[in-house]
Amino acid sequence: MKINGSQIVIECLIEQGVDTVFGYPGGNILNIYDALYKNSDRITHILTAHEQAAAHAADGYSRSTGRVGVCMATSGPGATNLVTGIATAYMDSVPIVAITCNVGTPLLGKDTFQEIDITGVTLPITKHNFMVRRVEDLANIFRQAFIIAKSGRPGPVLIDIPKDITAAMCEFEPLKKGDDGSAALIKENLNFKRVMSVNVPSDEEIKAAAEIINKSERPVIYAGGGIKISGAEKELLEFAEKASIPVSESLMGRDVFPANHPLCTWMVGMHGTRASNMAVTESDLVLALGSRFSDRVIGDPKKFAEHATVFHIDIDPAEINKNIHAGGELVGDLKSILTRLLPLIEKKSHSEWLEKIAAWKKEIPASYSIVKPDSVNPKFMLETVHKYAGDDAFITTEVGEHQMWTAQFYPFEKPRTFLTSGGLGTMGYGTGAAMGAQVANPCGRVVHIAGDGSFRMNCNELCTIARYNLPIVIVLVNNGTLGNVRVWQKLFYEKRYSHTTLDFGPDWKKLADAYGVGYVKANNNDEFEKVFKTAFAEKKPYIVDTIVDIDEMIFPMAIPGKPIDEQMMCWGN
C-alpha cells in the first residue's frame, strides 16, 4: 500500500508494540502529529509540559516495563530539549527511541529557522542515530532503531526526519505478525548482524570461572543494573543462595536482590552500608555482575578490593578493565551465563565469612536514630512510605540527598521498582520518569521522592500529572537547600554555603492548588505517617510537603578518593 512518511512512522511504531508516545508538537513535526490525531484509537500520545520530561517519561516507561520507550519533538530547541533525557538513558543503558523532525531536505545546512544538527549533537550520547534521507528507507530505519535500542547492552537511538520526508509517499509493506524485521535487515546488511551480536563464552571459560568461584573463601557479589536488564534476578538469587555469597548492590542494582534477604548487604560505595564496603574490602573474590565500577563505588581504585580477585561478567566488553583491573572475565548475557554457571557452582556455607558480614550489618550510623521534633526523619519517611505503598509500588527519585536516603533506607524487594538517574545524576529526571512509569502501569502505584531543589526544575509537569489524572504521590523532601551540595560545602568548603539555600519560595500549596493537585504538609514524623497514609489512599495526584532539617546528612559516607572502608558514620568522625 502507498502511504506517506508520517503514516509509516505510525505503522512502524505499532509494529513494534508501542502503545504510548510522549512528546510536544512543533512546526516541523506537524505531519506526524496529524497522523497521531488520525490514529488516536491505535496509539496514545501524552503531552508533557516540556520536551525534557517527554524523554524522561519514555525512560521511566522503559525502566518500569523493560520495553522500549518512545518520545518525540520538533526541530531546533524541541530536539535539543530532549538531549538531557537521552544522555540520562544512555548512561543507565535504557532503551528509548527519540523521534525528531528537522527542516525540509532542501533547507538543511542553511541555518534555516529552527534547524539543528541533532544527529551531530547526540552522536556521543546515543547507541546509534539516523538521519532519514529517503522516505523509502524510513520503515527499515525504524525497525533497525528498535532492534538496536533493545539488543545487547540497551540504549537510546535517535531518528531525525526532515519535514518533506514525513509528507512524501511511498509503498509500505507491513511486517508479518511476530516478525520484528531483524532477519530481513541482516540479509540486507551483514554489518547489522555484527551490531546485534552478543558474545557467548565457551564451555571452557564457564568451567574456569566456576573453579575460581568455588575456590574462594570470602566471596562477595557486586550486583549492578545489568542484572535487571538481562532479567537475571531469579538466577542471581539461586546463585547466591547455593554458594552462600553475600550480595552488595550498586545504586542501579538496588532492586535486583530482595532487600530483606539475609545475604543482602544493600548498597556499596560512597554512601554504601558498612557491611557492603567491608565485605568488598576484605573479600578474596569480588564477582561483579552487570556493573561498571563507577567512581562513586570504588573510591580509591588502588585500594578497592586490593586483596581480592575481581571477576567481571558483563555484556559489554568495553566495561572490562575500564575502571578496575579484572583478574577474570566473561563477556555475554548475564542470565545465560548464570544459568550455565549454576550447575557447576558448589553448595557452600561460608559460615565464618557470613558471621563477619552479620557483625558489619550491625554497625549502623548513629544519625539513623536522630528524631528532631520539628522535622521528619528521612529513615522514618522512607520506611513509612514502604509501610503503606508496599513492595509493588514504583519508587522514583530526583537526584541528591533524598536519592541517597531512598537507596539507603527503602527495602526494595522486586525488580524494576526503583527508577533513578545513576550515571548522569540528572536533577529533574524523576517527575518525568514517574509519569512514564504510571502511564505504563495504570493499575500500579508510583511514589515520587523529590528534593525541593530538583522539583523546582520540573514542577511544571504538575499540569501533565493533573491533566491525565495520574495518581502519583510526590513526597517533596523540603529541607530548603540543595542538600547534597550543602553536605560537600559543610565537609570540604568550611561551611561556605554558596547559593545552595532555597529560602525564596515557591508556596508549594498555592502551586498545587493552581494545578488542581492535592496537598498536605508534614512537620514531624507523626504528621508524616498520617498525611502520607491519607494521600496514598486517595489514588489521585498529591504533594506531601515533608519538612526535613536543613542539616540532615547522608551517613555512612566515604570521602571521595579515599578507600571505601574509611567511612564517616556520623558528623565529626
Looking at residue 505, what is its pLDDT? Answer: 86
Phi/psi of residue 177, nearest 5 degrees? -55, 130
Q: Give the DSSP per-residue string, 391-409.
A: TTSEEEE-SSHHHHHHHHH
What average pLDDT does the segment 280-298 reach?
A: 97
522 and 423 belong to one structural domain: yes
Domain residues for the domain of 300 are 203-361
% of the chain with per-residue pLDDT over 70: 97
> Is residue 310 one of the residues assigned to a domain?
yes
346 and 375 belong to one structural domain: no
What average pLDDT does the segment 75-81 reach?
A: 98
Please check whether residue 288 is in contact with residue 310, taking contact to mean a CB–CB distance below 8 angstroms. Answer: yes
Q: Which of 157, 180, 196 is the last residue of a domain?
A: 196
What average pLDDT does the segment 109-138 reach?
A: 96
Q: Is 154 left (phi over 0), alpha (psi -120 to 50) or beta?
A: beta
Query: Cis before residue 124, ω within 30 degrees of 0?
Result: no
What average pLDDT does the segment 305-312 reach?
A: 96
Residue 201, C-beta contacts closer than 8 angstroms, at least 6 positions apart: 209, 330, 331, 332, 337, 340
Q: Which of 346, 361, 376 is the last residue of a domain?
A: 361
38 and 8 belong to one structural domain: yes
**Which residue did the predictor score with more confidence, 366 or 88?**
88
Which own/partner pairs from 442-445 qualify as long-range (CB within 8 Å, at least 24 positions apart)? 444/392, 444/393, 444/394, 445/389, 445/392, 445/393, 445/394, 445/471, 445/473, 445/536, 445/539
Residue 317, all three cell numbers: 566488553
Whether the predicted pLDDT of 182 surpasses 80: no
> Is residue 571 one of the residues assigned to a domain?
no
Q: Which of 164, 196, 228 is the last residue of a domain?
A: 196
408 and 544 belong to one structural domain: yes
Whether the CA torsion 377, 378, 381, 386 is positive or negative: it is negative
Q: pTM surpassing 0.85? A: yes
Kindly report the CA angle at 544 between 543 and 546, in degrees rounded to 5?
Answer: 135
Residue 55, C-beta contacts closer than 8 angstroms, at least 6 positions apart: 22, 71, 82, 84, 85, 86, 88, 89, 96, 98, 432
Whether the predicted pLDDT of 198 surpasses 90: no
Whether the predicted pLDDT of 163 surpasses 90: yes
What average pLDDT does the segment 289-314 reach?
A: 96
334 and 444 belong to one structural domain: no
The span from the CA of 70 to the CA of 55, in Å, is 8
The span from the CA of 69 to the CA of 63, in Å, is 9
Looking at residue 186, what is its pLDDT? Answer: 67
Whether the predicted pLDDT of 464 surpasses 90: yes
**Which residue did the predictor score with more confidence, 418 or 366?**
418
Q: How many CA atoms lie within 13 A of 504 on its CB side?
A: 6
Axis-axis angle for helices 483-492, 401-409 (nearest 10): 100
Whether the predicted pLDDT of 193 surpasses 80: no
357 and 371 belong to one structural domain: no
Whether the predicted pLDDT of 213 surpasses 80: yes
pLDDT band at 372 (very low <50, low <70, confident <90, very high): confident
pLDDT band at 177 (very low <50, low <70, confident <90, very high): confident
At 442 the three-state DSSP class reads: coil
14 and 117 belong to one structural domain: yes
Please check whether residue 130 is in contact with residue 101, taking contact to mean a CB–CB distance below 8 angstroms. Answer: no
Please check whether residue 192 is in contact with residue 185, taking contact to mean a CB–CB distance below 8 angstroms. Answer: yes
Residue 494, all three cell numbers: 568550611
Question: Which one, of 319, 316, 320, 315, lies nearest residue 332 by Cα?
Answer: 315
163 and 16 belong to one structural domain: yes
> Is residue 564 one of the residues assigned to a domain?
no
What average pLDDT does the segment 181-191 reach?
A: 68
> Is residue 570 one of the residues assigned to a domain?
no
> Is residue 565 one of the residues assigned to a domain?
no
325 and 384 belong to one structural domain: no
What average pLDDT does the segment 436-465 reach?
A: 98
Helix (H) or strand (E) holding 546: strand 542-547
Whether the predicted pLDDT of 188 surpasses 70: no
Whether the predicted pLDDT of 573 surpasses 60: no
Helix (H) or strand (E) holding 120: helix 118-122
Whether the predicted pLDDT of 309 surpasses 60: yes
Whether the predicted pLDDT of 554 surpasses 60: yes
Whether the predicted pLDDT of 411 surpasses 90: yes
Strands 418-419 and 518-522: unpaired
Helix (H) or strand (E) holding 459: none
Residue-averaged pLDDT of the chain: 95
Looking at residue 187, what is its pLDDT? Answer: 61
The span from the CA of 43 to the CA of 13, in Å, is 9
Looking at residue 368, what is its pLDDT? Answer: 80
pLDDT band at 105 (very low <50, low <70, confident <90, very high): very high
> Is residue 62 one of the residues assigned to a domain?
yes
Looking at residue 169, what is its pLDDT? Answer: 97
Looking at residue 195, what is its pLDDT? Answer: 64
CATH value at residue 451: 3.40.50.970
What average pLDDT does the segment 50-64 reach?
A: 98
At 317 the three-state DSSP class reads: helix
pLDDT band at 185 (very low <50, low <70, confident <90, very high): confident
428 and 513 belong to one structural domain: yes
The span from the CA of 371 to the CA of 529, in Å, is 14
CATH value at residue 283: 3.40.50.1220
> Is residue 372 one of the residues assigned to a domain?
yes
79 and 93 belong to one structural domain: yes
62 and 119 belong to one structural domain: yes
pLDDT band at 572 (very low <50, low <70, confident <90, very high): low
Please give the tally of structural domains in the chain: 3
> Is residue 126 one of the residues assigned to a domain?
yes
